[in-house]
Amino acid sequence: TEPLPAVLDPLRSPAACKQFEIAKGDLDAGFAEADLVVEGTYTTGHQEQLYLEPQAAVAIPREDGGVTIHGSMQCPYYVHAAVIRALALGRDRAVIVQAETGGGFGGKEDYPSILAIHAALLARKAGRPVRMTYDRHEDIAATTKRHPSVVRHRTGVTRDGRLVAQDIDLVYDAGAYTTLSPVVLSRGGIHAGGPYACPNVRIRARAALTNTPPNGAFRGFGAPQSEFAAELHLDRVAEALGMSPLEIRRRNAYREGDLTATGQVLRESVAAVDVLEAAADASGFERVRAAHEASREAAGTGAVATWVGHRSATGIGIALGWHGAAFTGGGEARLASVASVELSADGRIRALAANTEMGQGARTVLAQVTAAALDVPPEAVEVIPPDTSIVPDSGPTVASRTTMVVGGLLATAAAHLRTDVEAATGQPFAASYPAYVRYHGALRATEQFHGFPGISWSDENYRGDAYPAYGWASAVAAVDVDLDTGAVRVRSVVQAVDPGRVVNPVLAEGQVEGGTLQAVGYATLEEMQVAAGRYRNDRLSTYLVPTTLDAPRIESILVERPFSGVPHGAKGLGELPMDIPAPAVVAAIHDATGAWITDLPATPEKVLAAIIEAEGRGREAGR
C-alpha cells in the first residue's frame, strides 16, 4: 500500500484535536451597523523555549520495586501520575523530586514525564541508577514548541472608532499529537478579540493535526499568537479610519462592568485604560508619533518615518493586552490544589507546596506571602523543595497561578495556623510560636482550593467566567529599521503591567524584563525552519535568540489593581509580559516604514520585501 501524503499545512488538515466557537450578540446586525469593515490575516511560527538547562532526569530503583526520580521539571505531580501509570506502580512506590530548575517557560510542563518514564524503565531493567540528559540538539529536536498560528480577522467599526462586530477564525498547528493543544487553543480563542468591548462577536477556533513535531506549552500559552493578530489588526482599523492607534484603544478598552465575548461581566480589577495611559505617558507616545508624522510631511517621504541615518528610519508602536490568571474555566476547582503551613517539632515554620523554583522567584514570593499572614519576617519561613513524598499536590507551576492560587492557599493556611496558636497562647503568633511548640508539639494547617466564589463556566459552549481575574499590560516599542537591508533594532520597550498587588517589586520587574526580551525575540528573530515535517535548525548555531547585545532598554511600570478573590490581592505575572511586546514592535516597524508585517518573526528578509512593496504602492499612488 502506498503511504498517504503527509499533511504539513494546518489549513489543509482534515483532523483536529480541538475546535469550538464563542458567540455573542448578532454578528450580521453588527456588520450592518458598521461604517467600515476591515479584513486581515496574521500568521506566527514556532518558538523554542530555550531554557538554559536542558531536559534531564535521574531514576533510582528501590528495593520494593518502586523508583525515585530527580529531574528538571515544572510539575512534579504530573510526572508522578505519568510514572505510576506507565510502570503500574502504587502511588507510594514512586517519588518525584524536583531539582531546582534552570528555566522552563512551559517547555518543562509535559515533556519531563516522557524523559522520567524512559529513565525509570532503564533503571528498572538495569537495577541501577540511570541519568538521562539531553544535549541541546536533542532537546530542540524532541520537545514541543509554541504553536504556529493562522488568525483571520473581519472587523466592523463606526466612523468614530467604535467596534461593533468582530468575526475571528483561529487555526493553531498542534503537530502530530494532541499534547496540551486543546487548552492552549482555549486560552488563545478566549483572548482573540483583545481587551476590547464589542457587542457582536464570533470566534471560531481549531487545533489542527499535522505530520509535524507536536507543539505544546510556552509562556503565554496561546495568547501571544491571538493577541498579536488582534493588536496588529486594530492598528490597521485605526489607519483606515485616520485615527491614532492610541485613541482607538482608549475608545474601546474594557472597563469595569463590560461584558466579554464569553459573557463574563468584568466586575473588578480592570486596568486596561490604566496601563495604556501609563505606557503612553512614560514613552511620550503621542509626542513622538506626532514628530514622526511632521517629519514625514516636511520631507515628503510618504510612508518613510524620521531619518536617523543613511537609509534608515525610526518608528514607535503601541499595543494593549490581557491575560486570564490561573486555569481556564473550572480547571482550578477540578484540580482541587492543596497546600500546608506547619510548625515543625523543632520550631521551624515550613511552607509545603509542589510549586517549583525555576529562577522566577517562586520560593521567595511564597515565603513572603506566608510570612505576611503570620506577621513574621520572610526569612523565618522555610519553603520546602518539591518532593511528592513530603509536599501536597498544589498543582503545576503553570498558567500564572503560583502567586495567586498557591500563594492564596498558603496565606489562608497560615492565617488558620496563626489563629490556633494565638488562641492557645493568648499572645501574638510571632512572639509565642516557639513556646507553643515546646508545650504542644508540631502543628499543621492545610488548605484545599474549592473554586472562586461567583465563578460559573461551561466547557461545552464556552460561556461564562473564563478566568477569575485578568492581568492587563500595555507596551510601547521604539525601533530603528535599516531600509536597505530590512534589519530591525529594537531600541526600547516600555511595558506597564497590572498583576494585582505586587508581592516583590524586584522580582516583578524581573518578570517584565524577561518576558519583554523573550517577546522581542519572538517578534524579530526566533524562527524554527521546518522541512518535510522536521526542524532544520535544531542547534544554537542556527536558531537565533536575542543576546545582551540585542537587548533593548526596558522600562517596567507596575500598576497595582488588587484582586479581592485572594487574601494578598495578586493576579499573577509570569506570562502577561510575553503577550504584547511583539505587536508593539511590528507596529513600530510600520510607523518607520509604512510596511505591514503580518507574519512573525519580522526577519530582515520579510521586512525588506514589505518595504519594497510599500514603496511601490507609494510610487503608484503618486502618479
| 305: pLDDT strictly greater than 60 | no
Sheet arrangement for strand 56-61? 94-98, 67-71, 56-61, 130-133
Note down the domain range covering 61.
Answer: 56-142
Residue that the C-alpha cell 524532541 belongs to? 142
- Does some domain include residue 491? yes
Predicted local confidence at residue 298, as pLDDT? 79
DSSP state of 57: E
Predicted local confidence at residue 390, as pLDDT? 98
Query: Do residues 342 and 417 share a domain?
Result: yes
Q: Give the predicted TM-score (pTM) of the model.
A: 0.96
Query: What amino acid is encoded at 294 in this protein?
Result: A
Query: Do residues 473 and 406 share a domain?
Result: no
Can you tell me the distance from the alpha carbon of 164 to that of 500, in angstroms, rounded to the nearest whole number? Answer: 30
List, for residues 99-146, the tens digit of each pLDDT value: 989 999 999 999 999 999 999 999 999 999 999 999 999 999 999 999
Integer CA distances (angstroms), 539 to 114, 214, 231, 520, 543, in order: 21, 18, 32, 20, 6
- Does some domain include residue 161? yes
| 533: pLDDT strictly greater than 80 | yes
Query: Do residues 298 and 367 share a domain?
Result: no
Query: Secondary structure of 443-491 in the HEC alphabet?
Result: EEEEEECCCCCCCCEECCCCEECCCCCEEEEEEEEEEEEECCCCCEEEE
Which of 492, 507, 512, 504 minimizes the C-alpha distance to 557? 512
- Does some domain include residue 347? yes
Query: Do residues 428 and 474 share a domain?
Result: no
Can you tell me the distance from the alpha carbon of 588 to that of 602, in angstroms, rounded to the nearest whole number? Answer: 11
Predicted local confidence at residue 300, as pLDDT? 64
- Does some domain include residue 455? no
- Does some domain include residue 481? yes
Provide the b/e sequence for 474-484 (b: ≥16 CB within 10 Å): bbbbbbbbbbe
Q: Which of 225, 243, 261 is the last residue of a domain?
A: 243
Assign residue 541 the CATH number of its domain: 3.30.365.10
Q: Which residues pair with 173 in a beta bridge?
A: 208
| 622: pLDDT strictly greater than 80 | no
Query: Do residues 561 and 598 share a domain?
Result: yes
Give the DSSP letter string of 331-369: HHHHH--EEEEEE-TTS-EEEE--PPPSSS-HHHHHHHH
Predicted local confidence at residue 34, as pLDDT? 99
Percentage of the chain exceeding pLDDT 70: 97
Give the DSSP letter string of 577-601: GGSSHHHHHHHHHHHHHS----BSS
- Does some domain include residue 265? no
| 303: pLDDT strictly greater than 50 | no
> Contact 43/150 with Cβ under 8 angstroms?
yes
Q: Which range, of 66-70, 293-297, 383-387, averages the lowest pLDDT?
A: 293-297
Query: Do residues 24 and 156 share a domain?
Result: yes
Percentage of the chain exceeding pLDDT 90: 93
Can you tell me the distance from the alpha carbon of 473 to that of 255, in angstroms, rounded to the nearest whole number? Answer: 14
- Does some domain include residue 459? no
Query: Do residues 195 and 64 share a domain?
Result: no
Q: Which of 113, 142, 171 is the last residue of a domain?
A: 142
Cell of 503: 508581592
* 439 SS3 class: helix
- The count of domains in the chain is 4
Query: Do residues 492 and 612 share a domain?
Result: yes
Query: Do residues 44 and 66 share a domain?
Result: no
**Regarding predicted confidence, which is higher, 623 or 443?**
443
Query: Do residues 169 and 137 share a domain?
Result: no
Query: Do residues 103 and 160 share a domain?
Result: no
- Does some domain include residue 457? no
Q: Which of 112, 142, 172 is the last residue of a domain?
A: 142
CA 466 distance to own-chain centroid: 16
Query: Do residues 41 and 176 share a domain?
Result: yes
Give the DSSP letter string of 489-543: EEEEEEEEEE-BS-S-HHHHHHHHHHHHHHHHHHHHT----EETTEES--STTTS
